[in-house]
Structure formats: C-alpha cells, structure tokens
Structure 1
C-alpha cells in the first residue's frame, strides 16, 4: 500500500497535511477535517496536536487555529437535565 505525502504516526490518513495544502480553505472546513482526524486518531490527540502544529510553517492558516483550539480543555457540562433542572431543584 502506497503512503501518501504527509501520512505519518500523527496523521495516519494525511488529512491535516492535505488541509494545509488546500487554497482558500475555510475554518469551518478545517473543523470538519479536524473532527474526522480526531475521531479516527488511534491515540491521545493532545499529544499529537503540538507536533502537527510544529510540522507546518503556517501560523495564519485556519487549520492552525483549529488545531490550537483542539488543545483547549473541553467545557464541563453544568446543566442538569430532567424535571429537577426545569424546576430549579438541586441535589
């Protein structure tokens, strides 16, 4: 099986590599590509993302912004569901 340019341990499908090569790509398109990459990545994405950013020399590219956002901690859910939340009851 031939290896595509950009494929490697941090980008097995070469998705991130290809995103950086698409002229006029939007941030929304980059988020979609990032989601595909993150869902199929076999390891801890928080370890791979800094290496992916460092591998590119494109600080103003929308994919760089998306990768940086991918390093941020996910917000913790704060709303309770169900009847208790609707009535304002706690614990």
Structure 2
C-alpha cells in the first residue's frame, strides 16, 4: 500500500511502479511523466527525485524506474540553432 504521507510521492505512483513485476522502461517513463505533471508549482522536482532515489535506488538498483529517475536529474541536452527562414537569409 502506498505511503499517503510521502510528500515526494503523494499519489504513490513511484512507489507502486517499483512493485509491478515485469515493468519496462517505457511504462516507467509514462508513470514518471504522470508524477512530474502532478508536482505542484514552486516545488523543486529535482529535490523530490533525489528523495525518491534515496528511498528506492539502493533497494532497486537495476529497476527501470531507477534509471528513469536518474536520467531525470541530468540536465537536458543543449539545443543548437534550429534553422528556419532567418538562418537561410544571406548575411550582409
């Protein structure tokens, strides 16, 4: 049964994902997205992810949700220019 008093996972989504036999990374990503959408504005989601990793990571090091949570702490890849009409204009 999910812990109802867990501020890092109030709906128990992450907790339950670790208990689903045979769950894969795509399902974990979907569950994580649902969890992330539910994080209240102003909350530090990275701090919450670190708490969840601290709670579950050591016990489930090879679980796909552990991988998803770990990836969530990595900064997004830098994006370069995307092009478009301005990129195609001749420079004066």
Q: Normalising by structure 2, what TM-score? A: 0.82
- State the alpha-carbon separation in 1 of the partners of residues 90 and 48 from structure 2: 42
CA RMSD of aligned residues (A): 1.8
Q: Deviations over 1:16-45 (max 9, x none)?
A: 001000000000100010011111112111
Q: Could you tell me whether the CA contact under 8 Å between 1:6 and 1:18 is conserved in 2?
A: no
Q: Mark the CA change 1:88 to 1:65 in structure 2 (over 3 Å): closer, same or farther.
A: farther
1:58 counterpart = 2:60: yes
Gaps of 5+ in 2: none
1:25 counterpart = 2:27: no
Gaps of 5+ in 1: none
Which 4+ residue blocks in structure 1 deviate beyond 3 angstroms? none
TM-superposed deviation, 1:77: 2.4
Q: Normalising by structure 1, what TM-score? A: 0.83
Count residues with an aligned counterpart. Answer: 86
Larger deviation: 70-79 or 10-19? 70-79
| Greater helix fraction, Structure 1 or Structure 2 | 1
